[in-house]
Amino acid sequence: MKVTVVGAGNVGATCADVLATREIANEVVLVDIKEGFAQGKALDIWQKSPIIGYDSRTVGVTNDYSRTAGSEVVVITSGLPRKPGMSRDDLISTNAGIVKSVTEQVVKYSPNAIIIVVSNPLDVMTYQAHLSSGLPREKVFGMAGILDTARYRAFLAEALNVSPKDIQAVLMGGHGDTMVPLPRYTTVGGIPVTELIGKAELDAIVQRTAVGGGELVKLMGTSAWYAPGAAAAQMVEAIVRDQRRVFPVCIKLEGEYGMNGVYLGAPVILGKNGIERVIELQLNDDEKQLLETSRGHVKEVMDALDKMTANA
Q: What is the pLDDT of residue 150?
A: 97
Residue 215 has pLDDT above 90, yes or no: yes
**pLDDT band at residue 148 under the 50/70/90 scheme:** very high
Q: What's the fold here for domain 145-306?
A: L-2-Hydroxyisocaproate Dehydrogenase; Chain A, domain 2 (3.90.110)
Higher confidence at residue 12 or residue 176?
12
- 67 in a labelled binding site: no
- 189 in a labelled binding site: no
- 265 in a labelled binding site: no
- 260 in a labelled binding site: no
> Where on the phi/psi map is residue 144: left (φ > 0), alpha (ψ -120 to 50), or beta?
alpha
Across the strands, what pairs with 275? 270
Q: What is the pLDDT of residue 304?
A: 87
- 284 in a labelled binding site: no
The span from the first CA to the last CA of the chain, in angstroms, equals: 38
State the angle between helix axes of 145-160 and 199-210 in degrees (0 to 180), rounded to the nearest 10. 140
pTM: 0.95
- 9 in a labelled binding site: yes
* Residue numbers annotated as active site: 175
Domain map (residue ranges) of the chain: 2-142, 145-306
Task: List, for residues 31-72, the tens digit of each pLDDT value.
Answer: 999 999 999 999 999 999 999 999 999 999 999 999 999 999
Q: What is the pLDDT of residue 88?
A: 59
Q: What is the CATH number of domain 2-142?
A: 3.40.50.720
Task: List, for residues 72-125, the tens digit of each pLDDT value.
Answer: 999 999 988 666 676 656 678 889 999 999 999 999 999 999 999 999 889 999
- 10 in a labelled binding site: yes
